[in-house]
Amino acid sequence: MNDPVQKPTARSKGLLALRASVIFTAWLLFLIIPLSLGTLLPPFSGKLNLSGCFIISIVLTMLFRAWLPVRKEGDAKKGAVKVLAALLALLAVCYAAVSAVSAHWRRETDAARLGLQKRGFQVSLSGFQDKAAGGEYLSPALARSIATGFAPVFNKNAAAQAALHVYGGIEAWNRETAKKEAAYSALFGPYLEKELAPLLKKKYAGYAKVDYAQAAREPLGDTARRLDNIPSVIKISEIAKLRAVSLALGGDAEKAWGLVRLQFSLAEVFAGENSLLGKLVTLALRGQAVDASAGILLNNAAAVIPGDVALSLRGASSGALASEGLRAELAYQYDIFDFLRRMDFRQFRKIGGLSAMPGSAGGGEFKALLDYGLFSLLRGTGLYDLNFLVTAGYFETILRPGAWAQVSARSAQAEARISGLPAWPYFMARAEAPSFGRLFAKELDIQVRARLALACARLRGWRRAHGKYPGKLPELKLKEEGMDVYSGGELVYEPAAGGKGFDLCSAGPAGDRKDVSGVELCLHQR
């Protein structure tokens, strides 16, 4: 007679549940180990890497399952001990493997940081603390000035708002353009000349006071990247440019040059800001001042560049604001890296956790714990360090000195390298792939336009002395202002028939006499 089928007891059910939990936990651990070790492999197919990790985890889990004790009632206690012992051993192996990989990437990131420091790079915003000057800062006074003097006029005049970004400065205006510009730019004359100009005659320590030590400790809070009223500042400078050209066309070159001085003064206040944003604002303001200078020359035959404005143009024709800004951005990125490295759950919740990222939804305490667990896993397995190394390497590559062609080629290669990395394990670097190579071209555009303005002034002086423009540019014996930063040779000079005019151009980054935005890099004097 066959034995009746034994019903599972509570103890055997408990062992089955324990085995199932252990098998699932073992699969997770067997997955984490190859995922972590996979970061040590050279970049290749991310899909192959991930699929290999999953296959390995499944195979090892099946072997582990076969090894586990059998489901016998009498062996329940002994089996449970063996299961738990096996799980603890597997946890120890996983911890050792992940810790070794994490320690490797930590050494790599620390070595990269040390290497950058030896080459003179700042790797924390706190390094700028000693450079923070005392004294008065422009931001509070300018904010009040914008709120009471500029904004009410600008906001009430739709024509003034629409005219921005329409007319450039490096061209001779026709009557229609001049009429439109004169009609609205006069609205801002009182603010520019009677309120802003006296404000900028003072000596300021900078635009905004920043505690760089605090910014380094909490880089996701109120840091040096936050500069107030920037859109209004850019609009004011652009209106000053159009107002200056309009005045010059009307015959008042002296007042026009005063507005150029205002633009350069505003730019120099921002030049001392130790942030990428501060340098970008400086470049924008300098570019508008340069265009205003060229516009004055092209629209007023009697205009002569004053000595102090010429000095400011020479300053704008050289320099390395883009590099300085990117160095500050690198320091900021290192502070974020260090902050996230040490971030605890309280700080994680404070910044919004993963829910603060685009496309993420909010959640309660349980979701926050899960998010923090995932973040801790990425951080603990070395993935965060690995991806940051890619970003830091990008900055180091594009900041190497060299001629325009070398910098451009290196920037393109560095950006292509990041975009060409596999999604796994470089998903963080790819998601926030930096693309700053065009900044150098934008700065060089401003430098070459400043040189075009300076060379144009010299050509005008030659004509006043000789009655016509020279046949060749070398006759002026120009130094730096006669050199094209893109081609490395002289600016392209083409005199008109009879010496009555000229075309003066830069080769441009692509050799087509246009800047990175497709705008012609030429002055046409007729």
Instruction: Looking at 250-275, list the stretches that DSSP marks H as alpha helix, in order from N- to C-terminal side.
Output: 253-271
| Annotated domain spans of the chain | 10-118, 122-342, 346-437, 451-526
Distance CA 39, CA 102 (A): 10
| Those residues with Cβ within 8 angstroms of residue 124's Cβ, 6 or more apart along the chain or in another chain | 216, 331, 334, 335, 338
pLDDT of residue 361: 47
Across 36-62, average pLDDT? 87
- Identify the residue with better confidence: 73 or 242: 242
Peptide bond into 509 cis (omega under 30): no
- Which pLDDT does position 180 carry in this prediction? 73
Q: Is the pLDDT of residue 358 over 60?
A: no
User: What average pLDDT does range 62-74 have in this prediction?
Assistant: 68
Residue 408 pLDDT class (50, 70, 90 cuts): confident
Does residue 352 have a pLDDT over 80? Answer: no
Within 10 angstroms of residue 108's Cβ, the number of other Cβ atoms is 15
The predicted structure's pLDDT at residue 179: 73
Beta-ladder partners of 197: none
Sheet of 502-505: strand order equals 492-495, 502-505, 522-525
What's the angle, vertex CA 390, arms to CA 389 and CA 396, rounded to 5?
85
Least confident range from 295-304, 335-344, 472-481: namely 472-481
* Stretch 279-297: mean pLDDT: 94
Q: Which residues contact 425 (CB under 8 A, 6 or more apart)?
A: 35, 38, 39, 46, 49, 383, 386, 387
pLDDT over 70 for what percent of the chain?
88
Confidence grade of residue 406 (pLDDT, cut at 50, 70, 90) = confident
Q: Which of 59-73, 165-179, 214-228, 317-331 has the highest mean pLDDT?
A: 317-331
The stretch 284-311 carries a mean pLDDT of: 93
pLDDT tens for 440-486 read 988 999 999 999 999 999 999 999 898 889 988 888 888 888 899 99
3-class DSSP assignment, residue 483: strand
Q: In the 8-state DSSP scheme, what is residue 448?
A: H
Q: How many CB atoms lie within 10 A of CB 422?
A: 16
The Cα–Cα gap between 143 and 106 comes to 44
> What is the DSSP pairing of strand 492-495 with strand 522-525?
unpaired
Q: Lowest-confidence range among 158-167, 176-185, 215-224, 487-496?
A: 158-167
Contact (Cβ atoms closer than 8 angstroms) between residue 516 and residue 448: no
